[in-house]
Amino acid sequence: MNKIYLYNTLTRKKEIFKPIRGNKVGLYTCGPTVYNYAHIGNLRTYVFEDVLRRVLEFNKYRVKHIMNITDVGHLTSDGDTGEDKIEKGAEREGKTVWQIAEYYTDAFKEHLNALNILMPDKWVKATDYIKLQIKLIKKLEKKGLTYKIADGIYFDSSKYNEYAKLAKLNIKGQREGARVEVNKEKKNSTDFALWKFSPKDSKRQMEWASPWGKGFPGWHLECSTLSMKFLGKEFDIHCGGIDHIPVHHTNERAQNWGITGSEVVKYWVHGEFLIMDKNKMAKSEGNFIILQTLIDKKFNPLAYKYFILQAHYRSKLNFSYEALQAAQTGYDNLIRTISSFDKPGKVCSSCLERFQKAINNDLDTSKALAILQELIKSDKASSVKRATIIEFDKVLGLNLNQYKEEKKLSDDIKKLIEERQKAREKKDFKKSDELRNKLKEQGISIKDLPDNKYELD
């Protein structure tokens, strides 16, 4: 088996990936907070995670991929102050929190589809597992790791002597600098809420009874709860963007330790930011673009994906429309060239080996794309090129296997398309994804458009 190297944030080293259970891999990726559209910065993180999953599958691992949907508890500060983002979103749009969460969850899945990102094996909503979250707080309470203050139940981070490890936090410096701490009742500035009480002066739409009082779970708790529920008390990979290292994942790791007494996640893998105008793209900064805006400007979402893949996932990437336009031109050229190639013939195994070596080296997609270009320019038969590119595309997910000539659709293909439409209408994205792959195997690429419409490429 070929070796995969991954950069592990926990050790700050590129390590050889060794799964815990044979060829099975447990993968947990932090999902979106569904109070607004994901911006294209968020989507960069999901593209990197998709590449990771595809690389694992390319290396014949069986991946169990879990993604949560944060529909409660993520506060505007990312810490324990401010409003709940979902409640705020509902207020903004005059809808219920449940409507907001459903609408933006669907929009998110549409965007993943447009970027040809594989759906996780399971989506899990934080609000579907409140009881389990309460159970885990009780467990932490029994171990003496929690305390109660006016606005909630908190985790005492000073009890975990490895608290600072993941983010290499300077706790001493942080405590000395904690004069700005908003919540003076907290014992340590790094303590975080496990359960927040509902405010006395206003009514929340989402709140639950608990042994400590009515309220809602802290944001970090859902990911500890859901990852361990579905992947076990020890699992392989946990991903997210780098902003999650110092707070969300540090706190998750502390909870995991509190619950199990040991290290739960073997590899922590984080993607760098998409930058715009020198700042990270963020809704809170007001400098964000959503995928639909790119589509409205006639960019192909896959050209945006191509743009992302040109950079390494651990490098910052500057977004500009000029750079995206260049990627669009490059992508169109690529598709035009490939579509003129003959039907797939034999795969070039040495090309495949080089490609695999690149992507196995901490997901070096820019090198992989260079290898793709070299192959295209080589003097190999175009049938060999096409066959090899089909293999490359299993990792790149750029929908590269397209044909120029008009296709006459057979009855079987028509049936598959119909079935897929039905699955899409029922929002069964897993099935529609499977059917899309089936169609792709037969050389039919389907592009999803808004309002359940589609287009054959």
Q: Can you give the binding site for Zn ion, defined by CB under 5 A?
A: 30, 223
Query: Which of 39, 159 has the CB closer to ligand AMP?
Result: 39
Tell me which of Zn ion, ligand AMP, none is bound by residue 226, counting a contact when its beta carbon lies within the kind-specific cut-off of 5 to 8 angstroms: none
How far from 140 is each of 192, 231, 343, CA to CA, in Å? Answer: 13, 20, 60
Phi and psi at residue 178, to the nearest 5°: -85, 15
> Are 81 and 196 in contact, with CB atoms under 8 Å apart?
no
Tell me which of ligand AMP, Zn ion, none is bound by residue 280, counting a contact when its beta carbon lies within the kind-specific cut-off of 5 to 8 angstroms: ligand AMP
In the complex, what is the shortest distance from the CB of residue 123 to Zn ion, in angstroms, rounded to a whole number?
13
In the complex, what is the shortest distance from the CB of residue 122 to ligand AMP, in angstroms, rounded to a whole number?
18
Tell me which of Zn ion, ligand AMP, none is bound by residue 53, counting a contact when its beta carbon lies within the kind-specific cut-off of 5 to 8 angstroms: none
Nearest residue to ligand AMP on Cβ basis: 241
How far from 423 is each of 66, 108, 419, 446, 457, CA to CA, in Å? Answer: 21, 17, 6, 14, 20
In the complex, what is the shortest distance from the CB of residue 96 to Zn ion, in angstroms, rounded to a whole number?
24
Tell me which of Zn ion, ligand AMP, none is bound by residue 432, counting a contact when its beta carbon lies within the kind-specific cut-off of 5 to 8 angstroms: none
* Chain-centroid distance, C-alpha 136: 25
In the complex, what is the shortest distance from the CB of residue 290 to ligand AMP, in angstroms, rounded to a whole number?
12
Q: Whole-angstrom Cα distance, residue 244 to residue 100?
A: 24
Tell me which of Zn ion, ligand AMP, none is bound by residue 115, counting a contact when its beta carbon lies within the kind-specific cut-off of 5 to 8 angstroms: none
Tell me which of Zn ion, ligand AMP, none is bound by residue 85, counting a contact when its beta carbon lies within the kind-specific cut-off of 5 to 8 angstroms: none
Query: Which of 33, 256 has the CB closer to ligand AMP?
Result: 33
Tell me which of ligand AMP, Zn ion, none is bound by residue 120, counting a contact when its beta carbon lies within the kind-specific cut-off of 5 to 8 angstroms: none
Residues 6+ apart with CB under 8 A from 137: 146, 153, 194, 195, 210, 217, 221
Tell me which of ligand AMP, Zn ion, none is bound by residue 289, counting a contact when its beta carbon lies within the kind-specific cut-off of 5 to 8 angstroms: none
In the complex, what is the shortest distance from the CB of residue 446 to ligand AMP, in angstroms, rounded to a whole number?
27
In the complex, what is the shortest distance from the CB of residue 219 to Zn ion, in angstroms, rounded to a whole number?
8
Query: Which of 58, 273 has the CB closer to ligand AMP?
Result: 273
Residues 6+ apart with CB under 8 A from 52: 6, 27, 237, 239, 269, 363
Query: Which of 42, 224 has the CB closer to ligand AMP?
Result: 42
> Are 255 and 287 in contact, with CB atoms under 8 Å apart?
no
How far from 17 is each of 23, 237, 241, CA to CA, in Å? Answer: 11, 10, 20
Phi and psi at residue 402, to the nearest 5°: -120, 155
In the complex, what is the shortest distance from the CB of residue 20 to ligand AMP, in angstroms, rounded to a whole number?
23
Query: Which of 108, 429 has the CB closer to ligand AMP?
Result: 108
Query: Which of 224, 328 has the CB closer to Zn ion?
Result: 224
| Residue 431: CA count within 13 A, CB half-sphere | 13
Binding site for ligand AMP (CB under 6 A): 30, 32-33, 41-42, 44-45, 240-241, 243-244, 273-274, 280-282
Do β-strands 279-280 and 274-276 pair in parallel, antiparallel, or remain unpaired?
antiparallel
DSSP 124-142: EEGGGGHHHHHHHHHHHHH
Tell me which of Zn ion, ligand AMP, none is bound by residue 223, counting a contact when its beta carbon lies within the kind-specific cut-off of 5 to 8 angstroms: Zn ion
In the complex, what is the shortest distance from the CB of residue 271 to ligand AMP, in angstroms, rounded to a whole number?
6
Tell me which of ligand AMP, Zn ion, none is bound by residue 33, counting a contact when its beta carbon lies within the kind-specific cut-off of 5 to 8 angstroms: ligand AMP
Query: Which of 241, 397 has the CB closer to ligand AMP?
Result: 241
Query: Which of 242, 456 has the CB closer to ligand AMP?
Result: 242
Query: Which of 44, 125 has the CB closer to ligand AMP?
Result: 44
Q: Whole-angstrom Cα distance, residue 98 to residue 127?
A: 10
Q: Whole-angstrom Cα distance, residue 183 to residue 328?
A: 48
Joined tokens for residue 11: 């050790």
In the complex, what is the shortest distance from the CB of residue 78 to Zn ion, in angstroms, rounded to a whole number?
11
CA dihedral for 30, 34, 39, 40, sign (positive or negative)? positive
In the complex, what is the shortest distance from the CB of residue 275 to Zn ion, in angstroms, rounded to a whole number?
22
Query: Which of 40, 439 has the CB closer to ligand AMP?
Result: 40
